[in-house]
Structure 1
Amino acid sequence: MAETHDIVALTSGGPHSWIMINALRERFGDFPVILEQPECQKSFWKRRLKMLGPIKVASMQAARLPMKFTKLGSENVITDMIGAYRLFPKPIQGTRIIDVPSVNTKACRDVLADVAPKAVFVVSTRMIGRKTLNAVDAPFINYHSGINPAYRGMFGGYFALANGEPEHFGATVHLIDEGVDTGGILYQSKVDAHPSDTFHTYLWRIAAGSRDIVVQAMEDAVDGRLAPHTVNLPSRQWFAPTLGGYVWTGLSRGVW
């Protein structure tokens, strides 16, 4: 790879990932996007089984059934957001995509070393190991759809609403360390959920209202003026909703 770039992105893809990457392209121009293959579902749930136990994992799996019913109408909500907020949820033509098996492979580390970016933007990847984090002398900066440290892990926006904390419906941009969303916080967004939103649209709503903090954090990184800080909230890692939790929250709070 002949040229170098100020930034490079690591992702496994997905609409909210491309929304953020395309917002960065508007600011920084073209840059390489390292695209890892998603982790297979069998390995994912095997790890969850070991971590959480069979009863909770079975309940998480069962929650998928009522979620199918709440998906009805979500495509219209998403279409409206794409138009209203000028979202670009797919790779733009000309995007330089470099496929790798995983962010934790030598192939990925070789690309990073070759590009030698000033900062690495990370969105929707598996946990990044020490070898990759040390592959280049640059900060790894993650976009997380949740308010850290209270809503680390998965589906932070949903759980904030499910817990009756709409003030914590938003996103965090933070430095990556070896923990789960535990790195120093750079910026956070607070976004308003709409009555039409459901589990299937929360990520879109948060992404639509959080592009500016991603751009600002990457500008700070490139200019060498990152200022990580801590937020005084209880720390908890969240996973997928359970069947009982999802149904009860929907009936009691109207959060589906």
Structure 2
Amino acid sequence: MKVVVLASGGTPTNILVNYLDDAGIPPVAVLIEPSQSRRALLRGRARRLGRRAVFGQALFMALVLPVLRRRGASRLSYLRKVHRLRADPLLPNRVTSIRTVNAPETRELLKKLAPDAVVLSGTRIVKPDTLLAAGAPVLNIHAGITPQFRGVHGGYWALWSGQPQDFGATVHVVDHGVDTGAVLQHVRTAPESDDSFVTYPLVQLAEALPVLVDTLTTLDRVGTLPEPVPTEGPGQQWYHPTLGQYLAGIRRGVR
């Protein structure tokens, strides 16, 4: 089976590729785009959300996130160990650098590779022309239950909203929207008391990776994806928390 990973660099992508390797589905190519600059990200958010919200997000990232990362480091290491998630850096010969997932040359490369499936990991929004160029199902693990918790940090927002039953991940087909594609499976789980904003995504990823492997195995065996799971309504798109929202979450017992 020819699987292509279309990704941004970093630990989650390393874990994904290593997991596929260990499951006997080594990607034939790992195409990695550079991360967007923080300035570009904040500028785009300001257009969508307004400067006040973005200022609050910047305060959260500057004042709270570094502390959470330091405190969560040992927990992240434990989770990787107990779930056998290898974060080993990918060898240079495994990686092909691309300008962006939506660049014309990326589309041409996808056509040349002719994959049976494409798996995303942390990319910017993939445009319809790129999805079409893939010529195969494009799959993603979303760190949240869709459509209720589209966007980012879906597990955190489920807890923040008083819906712990919707802490989990979604394996879905990627379409032109933001986490709006057909849902193949919801994976619900629960964090431990020592988990926090920085460890929730790994808890979710650990539970969803076996489902992704099962999905790819089914596609390889029978030539089609599993039937989509019925969902209702467009749900809501969530963004990074502001400092005020995070402090409100602390008062609700959400870290």
TM-score, normalised to structure 1's length?
0.92
Change (3 A) 1:39 1:221: farther
What SS does the aligned partner of 2:212 have? helix
Corresponding residue number in structure 2 for 1:10:
6
Corresponding residue number in structure 2 for 1:166:
164
* CA offset digits 1:14-55 (Å, max 9, x no partner): 222322222222231352111111112222111100000111
Change (3 A) 1:231 1:67: same
Change (3 A) 1:122 1:189: same
Kept after mapping to 1: 8 A contact 2:7/2:32? yes
Cα-Cα RMSD: 1.7
The letter for the 2-side match of 1:66 is V
Corresponding residue number in structure 1 for 2:37:
40
Distance, in Å, in 1 between the alignment partners of 2:85 and 2:216 is 19
What SS does the aligned partner of 2:133 have? coil
Unpaired segments ≥5 residues, structure 1 = none
Corresponding residue number in structure 2 for 1:255:
254
| Pairing of 1:41-56 with structure 2 (within 5 A) | 41-56=38-53
* CA offset digits 1:129-170 (Å, max 9, x no partner): 121111132111111111100110001111111112121111
Corresponding residue number in structure 2 for 1:240:
240
Distance, in Å, in 2 between the alignment partners of 1:234 and 1:109 is 29
Kept after mapping to 1: 8 A contact 2:172/2:185? yes
Deviates more, 1:153-162 or 1:57-66: 57-66
Q: Which structure carries more relative contact order (alpha carbon 8 Å, separation 6+)?
A: 1
Query: CA offset at residue 92 of structure 1?
Result: 4.4
- For 1:213, which of 211, 214, 229 is the aligned residue? 211
Q: Which has the higher helix share?
A: 2
Unpaired segments ≥5 residues, structure 2 = none
Corresponding residue number in structure 2 for 1:22:
18
Distance, in Å, in 2 between the alignment partners of 1:189 and 1:138 is 24
Change (3 A) 1:6 1:71: closer
TM-score, normalised to structure 2's length?
0.92
Corresponding residue number in structure 2 for 1:82:
80
What SS does the aligned partner of 1:210 have? helix
Structure 1 vs Structure 2: percent identity of aligned residues? 32
Deviates more, 1:87-96 or 1:183-192: 87-96
Change (3 A) 1:66 1:137: closer
Distance, in Å, in 1 between the alignment partners of 2:190 and 2:32 is 31
Deviates more, 1:213-222 or 1:142-151: 213-222
Give the count of matched residue pairs: 251
> Does residue 31 of structure 2 align to residue 31 of structure 1?
no
Query: CA offset at residue 174 of structure 1?
Result: 0.7
Corresponding residue number in structure 2 for 1:229:
229
